[in-house]
């Protein structure tokens, strides 16, 4: 009992593909022969314009673009597909066996599946085949270009079906994605997550609450340090994709809409640059080496997450939010 789909593109960190859901979706769709790329999927789904911040607790799930079906559904509609999340609701061998049969059906028909929970880290990857009861996969933690063996059985999967009807036109997709991005930017809360422009406000407020940090244990502070850096890293990745998407959109649209997107592109590029310039205040613990900390912007002579970094980080976010407000106000003019 063995079936492997060969030549699914590799996944990995440090490639400007940091959103694991859309990175995995991109690789799976390219394997299926679809003319997509990561910035396009991030943009056409509006995920390139997202920001969420879990409240009142901080949570590393905040940047996950598959927290609900909003972004995946928009991406699937744009390319003429349907997507379905399949969740393992109960533990035990019976539930696993039922899900394994679904995996087998998809792989046997030549289609990879996306899944979360293939490694001990809660990131998305791709199921590329099976060998007996072993799942072969692509993950962001693979050690080589060879498929890895899943460390765990996934608890959520995502399968794709191509629809018979034609997808929307390129122009329709761009306008739909921009309208969705603006709508979500102005939606203050989704479930327990502060969302859009409001997410900046709660992030800033928490960073300025030094009393909260002073009461944390070392372990709690370490976790918050990681989450802070991870959300910021994901924010840069998203806005980088937004700029690339809007640059392409500018060439497709015509008339007034083209002028609007051109102006918005220039403003989101300022956002992207501001995020990059202030990266030294949003480090992650695993970037620390021998008393110094590497960041994409510069290596700094600090091996901790200090109160000063939190204060300056809050100031940086205030400026970034102002830039974003201006950029979204420009996109509101799209018709």
Domain match, 114 and 10 both:
yes
Domain match, 261 and 145 both:
no
Give me the pLDDT at residue 93, please: 82
Residue 54 falls within a domain, yes or no?
no
Domain match, 14 and 118 both:
yes
Residue 76 falls within a domain, yes or no?
no
Query: Reading across the β-sheet that carries 189-190, which strands appear in turn?
Result: 52-54, 193-195, 189-190
Domain match, 219 and 327 both:
yes
Q: What is the CATH number of the domain that holds 21?
A: 3.90.70.10
Distances (CA, A) of 161 to 6, 79, 112, 158, 173: 20, 11, 11, 10, 19
Residue 75 falls within a domain, yes or no?
no
Which segment of 42-46, 151-155, 271-275, 319-323 scores lowest on mean pLDDT?
151-155
Give me the pLDDT at residue 88, please: 83
Domain boundary among 118, 139, 162: 162
- How many domains is the chain partitioned into structurally? 2
Residue 63 falls within a domain, yes or no?
no
| Whether residue 90 has pLDDT greater than 90 | no
Give me the pLDDT at residue 95, please: 83
Give me the pLDDT at residue 92, please: 74
Domain match, 22 and 154 both:
yes
Question: 34: which 2 tokens?
Answer: 């679809």
Residue 99 falls within a domain, yes or no?
yes
What digits encode the pLDDT tens for the residues 136-179? 999 999 999 999 999 999 999 999 999 989 999 999 999 999 99
Give me the pLDDT at residue 94, please: 84
| Whether residue 89 has pLDDT greater than 80 | no
What digits encode the pLDDT tens for the residues 23-34? 999 999 999 999
Positive or negative torsion for Cα 319, 321, 324, 329? negative
Domain boundary among 162, 186, 203: 162
What digits encode the pLDDT tens for the residues 190-205? 999 999 999 999 999 9
Q: How far apart are the first and last CA of the chain?
A: 53
Containing H/E element for 193?
A: strand 193-195
Instruction: Give the C-alpha separation, 309 to 50, whole Å.
Output: 24
Domain match, 178 and 98 both:
no
Please say whether the beta carbons of 148 and 142 come within 8 A. yes
Domain boundary among 120, 145, 162: 162
Residue 68 falls within a domain, yes or no?
no
Query: In 10 A of CB 301, how many CB atoms?
Result: 7
State the average pLDDT for the chain: 96
Residue 252 falls within a domain, yes or no?
yes
Over residues 269-279, mean pLDDT: 98
**DSSP character string of 129-172:** EEETTEEEEE-TT-SSSSPEEPSS--SEEEEEEE-SSPPPPHHH
Residue 179 falls within a domain, yes or no?
yes
Domain match, 252 and 296 both:
yes
Question: 83: which 2 tokens?
Answer: 């997507």
Question: 87: which 2 tokens?
Answer: 């969740």
Domain match, 153 and 200 both:
no
| Whether residue 259 has pLDDT greater than 80 | yes
Instruction: Give the C-alpha separation, 153 to 191, whole Å.
Output: 27
The domain in which residue 20 lies consists of 2-36+81-162
| Whether residue 103 has pLDDT greater than 90 | yes
Domain match, 189 and 316 both:
yes
Give residues with Cβ within 8 angstroms of 319, minimum separation 6. Answer: 274
Domain match, 303 and 178 both:
yes
CB burial class (10 A; 0-12, 13-18, 19+) of residue 248? middle
Long-range contacts of 64-69 (CB under 8 A, 24+ apart): 64/20, 64/21, 65/19, 65/21, 65/22, 66/21, 66/116, 66/124, 66/158, 67/190, 67/191, 67/193, 68/190, 68/191
Instruction: Give the C-alpha separation, 99 to 84, whole Å.
Output: 13
Backbone phi, psi, residue 267, to 5°: -75, -40
Domain match, 262 and 309 both:
yes
What digits encode the pLDDT tens for the residues 35-59? 999 999 999 999 999 999 999 999 9
Domain match, 145 and 190 both:
no
The torsion region of residue 16 among left (phi > 0), alpha (psi -120 to 50) and beta comes to left
């Amino acid at each position: 009992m063995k079936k492997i789909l060969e030549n699914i593109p590799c996944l990995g960190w440090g490639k400007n593909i940091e959103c694991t859901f859309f990175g995995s979706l991109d690789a799976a769709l390219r394997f299926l022969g679809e003319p997509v790329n990561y910035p396009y999927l991030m943009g056409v789904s509006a995920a390139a314009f997202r920001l969420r911040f879990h409240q009142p607790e901080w949570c590393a799930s905040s940047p996950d673009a598959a927290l609900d079906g909003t972004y995946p559904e928009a991406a699937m509609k744009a390319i003429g597909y349907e997507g379905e999340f399949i969740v393992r609701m109960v533990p035990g061998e019976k539930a696993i066996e039922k899900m394994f049969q679904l995996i087998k059906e998809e792989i046997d028909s030549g289609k990879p599946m996306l899944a979360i929970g293939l490694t001990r880290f809660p990131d998305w990857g791709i199921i590329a085949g099976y060998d007996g009861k072993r799942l072969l996969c692509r993950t962001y933690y693979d050690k080589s270009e060879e498929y890895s063996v899943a460390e765990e059985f996934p608890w959520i999967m995502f399968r794709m079906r191509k629809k018979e009807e034609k997808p929307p036109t390129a122009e329709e997709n761009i306008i739909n994605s921009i309208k969705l991005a603006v709508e979500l930017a102005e939606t203050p809360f989704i479930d327990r997550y502060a969302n859009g422009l409001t997410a900046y406000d709660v992030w800033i407020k928490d960073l300025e609450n030094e009393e909260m940090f002073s009461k944390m244990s070392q372990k709690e502070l370490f976790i918050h340090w990681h989450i802070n850096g991870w959300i910021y890293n994901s924010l840069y990745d998203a806005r980088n994709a937004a700029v690339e998407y809007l640059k392409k959109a500018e060439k497709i649209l015509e008339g007034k809409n083209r002028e609007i997107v051109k102006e918005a592109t220039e403003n989101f590029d300022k956002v992207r640059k501001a995020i990059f310039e202030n990266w030294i205040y949003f480090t992650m613990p695993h970037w620390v080496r021998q008393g110094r900390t590497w960041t994409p912007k510069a290596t700094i002579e600090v091996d901790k997450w200090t109160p000063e970094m939190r204060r300056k980080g809050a100031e940086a976010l205030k400026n970034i939010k102002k830039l974003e407000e201006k950029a979204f106000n420009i996109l509101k003019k799209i018709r």
